[in-house]
Structure 1
Amino acid sequence: MNNKCVSPMMFHAKQENEELLFPNRCVLVNGPVIVGAGPSGLVVGAGLKQQGVPFVILERSNCIASLWQNKTYDRLKLHLPRKFCQLPYFPFPENFPEYPTKCQFVEYLESYAKKFDIGPMFNESVQFAKFDEKCGLWRVRSVRSTDGSVVEYISRWIVVATGENAEKVVPEFEGAQNFEGGVIHACDYKSGSVYQDKKVLVVGCGNSGMEISLDLCHHNAYPSMVVRSSVHVLPREILGKSTFHLGVSMMKWMPQWLVDKMLLIATRLTLGNLEKHGIKRPSVGPLKLKDIAGKTPVLDIGTLQKIKSGDIKVVPGIKNFLPGGVELVNGQVLEIDSVVLATGYHSNVPSWLKETRFFSRKGLPRTPFPNGWKGEDGLYSVGFTKRGISGASLDAIRVAQDIATIWKQETEQINQVLAITSHRRLESQF
C-alpha cells in the first residue's frame, strides 16, 4: 500500500462512516476508528453523530455490549440506581425500575444505538494498531471472524474503548489439573439451576462472587466462598437511600475521610460485625480505596444474610486442589463438586495496541482520571477510569468534543483549499 503522507480527510466519503477504496484490503476513514462497541464506544459514537463527524466502530463480537449480553449471569441487576448508569443524551425509560435488570440494560443500549443510528462493524477483531509516523495516520488491522479476511483501517484518530474488562483473569492453582470436577469462570456462569444439590466453591468475594454465591443458594446448591483478603461490604441502601448516592452527596460538603467514616459507621449499624463471619475490612476507607487502588466496594443485596445463616460458607485462600476438593491455607480440606472463578477481568490493550507512552503494561492509561482520556498522535481512551459508566461517559463526552473540534477545523481548511483550486481551474479555462 502507498504510505505517502495523505490525510483521509482528503477523500470524499460517499457514505457516512466509511470509505472503501480497496475492498477487503484497506478502508480510509474520514474520522476516527473506535475499537469496542460497549457503552463507552456507543457514547463516543453518539457524541460524534450529533456533530456530523463520521466514524467506524469495530467490535469483535456479533453484538453491542457483548460483556453484558454474553458474559454475565441471568440474575444480574445494576448495582447503582439507574440515574448513575444512564448514558449521556438519552435517559432510561421512565417505567424502568430503580435498579434495571441485565435484560433491561441491554434493551436500553440497543435503543441507544438505534436512536443515534450507530452501526458497528461486528465480528471484527483488532489484531494490530500502530501510528505510522511516515504518513501521520493510524493503521488498524482487523480480522473478520466470518471469513478470516484481513482489513486495514487508516485513520487520523483512534479511540480505544475496549475497557478494563476485556479478558477474564484465570489464576493458576497448584494441583488444578488433578481436580475431577468442573471449573468455569464467572463470565460463563448463567444460573445456579445446573448446580442443584452440588457443593460449589466460588473463588472471589467481589460483587460477582457475592451475587453468584447468593444465586447458588436460591437454586438449592451448597456454596462456599473464598475470601482471601480484606474487602469492604456496604449495604446497597441505607434508610431507603442508595449508599452510593449518599456518599456522592456527602462528598460535596465533607472531606473524603469523614464520608468514609460515616459510611462505615452506618454499615456497622446496618450489617453488624462481619469479621466474626470471616470478612475483614481494609484499613483504608471504601472511597479512598476506590481512588487509590480502583477497588469497588461490594454492595450487598442479601448475600450477608445467607452467610450469617450458614447457607454460604466463607473460607480462606486455596493452598492446592485435590481430586475431589481443595486444601485451604488453614489446612482444612473442603469437598466440592464444582468451582466458579469470580476472579475478575483485565484490559487486553497491550496485546494489540503498539504504544507504550500512554498505556501501561497493564493496559491502563498512565495518567489517572480525569486526565487519562487523551494521548498523542490522535490517540484517545474511554472506559478505563475505574469509575463505572459515569466515569466512562465523562471521558467519552470529552473525546467526542475534542475530535469534532479538530475534524471541523481541518474539514473547513480542506474545503477552502478545494474551493481555491477549483476557482483557479475555472479561471485557467478562460
Structure 2
Amino acid sequence: MPIPATYPKYPSRKEFIQYLNDYVSRFSISPRYRRLVEAASYNEVSGKWRIKARDLESGEAEEYTSRFLVVATGETCDPKIPKVEGLESFRGEILHSTEYKNGEKFKWKRVLVVGSGNSGMEIALDLANSGAKTSIVVRSPIHILSRGMMDAAMELLKYFSFEWVEWMTTMMSKAVFGDLSKYGMQRPEEGPFTVKLKYGKFPVIDVGTFNKIKSGEIEVLPAGIRSIKGNTVLFVNENEHTFDVIVFATGLLNDDGFAKSFPNHWKGKQGLYCAGLAQKGFYGAGMDAQNIARDIKALL
C-alpha cells in the first residue's frame, strides 16, 4: 500500500502512525499487542508450529498454531546505558531515549544528552525548542548531512560510482555545515557511507539541530563522562557541569541469538523465517519481507 499522495516527503510521527493503522485496516490484520512469546515448537505430525505466549495485561496463557513462523523481533532489544562511575548518585532524572516523549516537562531544566547519533541530535533539538538548557556530548567524529544531500546521493548512485558520490556528498556537507571544529565537533576521515558500511554508524541527518548549536542554544561537550557526583558531571577533559536531567541516547543492546548470514539468512526449515536480522537496516528488512511473502505464496 503506497504512502498517500497527500503526505509530505517526510511524514510526521502522527502521519506515519495513521498510515500503519490504515494498513492494518485495509488488509484485515489483527495484531496481538503486549504478548510475550515463551516457546515455539514444530510438530512433525501436523506440520505446524505451536507458539505459547502470555498476555502481559491479563497474565493469561495463549496458544497459537500456524504452518509458518516468521521471527521479526529486530536486532536490538534492551536500552543500553553505559556504566558511569557515580551514576547511582545522580539526584536528578535519568532516562533512556526510548523513554523520551517530548521536552515539555523539561522547560528551564539543565539537560544533558549523551549520544550524538540521530536520536540524540533530534532529542537535543526538541529539548532546546521546549525551553530546556540543553547540552549534548559529542565524543566521536560525526558526519552531518541534510535530507536533501541524502536524497541526492541515493539518486546519483544510480548513475555514478560509490566513490564519486561519497566524495561529492562530503564536499556538499563541508560547504553547507562548514568547519565542525568551530562547534566542538570533528568529521571522520572516512566518508559518510564508508563509515556506515564499515562500522554501522549512520550519518546525522540534520533537521535543525546544527543551527541551534551554531546559535549557542545547544552546547556541545566534546569529551566523555568520567564520573558523576550528585548533580555534577565530571568530564574526561576535567570540566564540570551541573544538570537536572540526563538523557542517554546510547542505543540498544544487540540480540545475537540468530545467525545473520546474508543474503540467505531469511529462510529456515519447516516454514521458519526471519526478517530484519541481517544488520542491513530498514532496506534489508524490506528485502526479507518481500522474499518471505513470495516464498509463502508459492507454497500455498
TM-score, with normalisation over the residues of structure 1?
0.65
The corresponding residue for 2:298 is: 405
Q: Retained in 2: the 8 A contact 1:257–1:288?
A: no
Say which of 89, 100, 119 aligns to 2:11. Answer: 100
Is 2:140 aligned against 1:255?
no
The corresponding residue for 2:224 is: 317
Which blocks of at least 5 consecutive residues in structure 1 are unaligned? 1-89, 238-242, 349-361, 409-430
The corresponding residue for 1:9 is: none
The corresponding residue for 1:118 is: 29
Residues in 1 aligned to 2:290 and 2:37: alpha-carbon distance in whole angstroms: 24
The corresponding residue for 1:332 is: 239
Q: Retained in 2: the 8 A contact 1:169–1:345?
A: yes
Residues in 2 aligned to 1:381 and 1:247: alpha-carbon distance in whole angstroms: 30
More strand by share: 2
Q: Retained in 2: the 8 A contact 1:256–1:288?
A: no
Give the deviation of 1:301 after TM superposition.
Answer: 1.1
SS in 1 for 2:150: helix
Residues in 1 aligned to 2:37 and 2:103: alpha-carbon distance in whole angstroms: 34
Give the deviation of 1:403 after TM superposition.
Answer: 1.7
The corresponding residue for 2:176 is: 270
Residues in 2 aligned to 1:385 and 1:265: alpha-carbon distance in whole angstroms: 31
SS in 2 for 1:384: coil
Larger RCO (CA under 8 A, 6+ residues apart): 2
1:206-221 aligned within 5 A:
206-221=117-132
Give the deviation of 1:341 after TM superposition.
Answer: 1.0
Residues in 2 aligned to 1:114 and 1:236: alpha-carbon distance in whole angstroms: 31
Is 2:292 aligned against 1:292?
no
What's the CA shift string for 1:308-335, capped at 9, x where partnerless? 2221111111111110121111111111
Q: Retained in 1: the 8 A contact 2:260–2:279?
A: no
Q: Flag the 1:297–1:387 CA change in 2: closer, same or farther, 3 A.
A: farther
Root-mean-square deviation (Å): 2.1
What's the CA shift string for 1:39-76, capped at 9, x where partnerless? xxxxxxxxxxxxxxxxxxxxxxxxxxxxxxxxxxxxxx
Which blocks of at least 5 consecutive residues in structure 2 are unaligned? none
Say which of 260, 276, 284 aligns to 1:366. Answer: 260
Q: Retained in 2: the 8 A contact 1:137–1:156?
A: yes
What's the CA shift string for 1:92-151, capped at 9, x where partnerless? 111111211101000000001111111122332112335567986544321112321223
The corresponding residue for 2:141 is: 230
SS in 1 for 2:188: coil
Larger Rg: 1
The corresponding residue for 2:273 is: 380
Give the deviation of 1:255 after TM superposition.
Answer: 2.4
Letter in 2 for 1:367: S
The corresponding residue for 1:203 is: 114
1:9-24 aligned within 5 A:
none
Q: Retained in 1: the 8 A contact 2:111–2:243?
A: yes
Aligned length in residues? 299
Letter in 1 for 2:24: A
Q: Flag the 1:165–1:389 CA change in 2: closer, same or farther, 3 A.
A: same
What's the CA shift string for 1:7-42, capped at 9, x where partnerless? xxxxxxxxxxxxxxxxxxxxxxxxxxxxxxxxxxxx
Letter in 2 for 1:379: L
Percent identity, aligned pairs only?
39
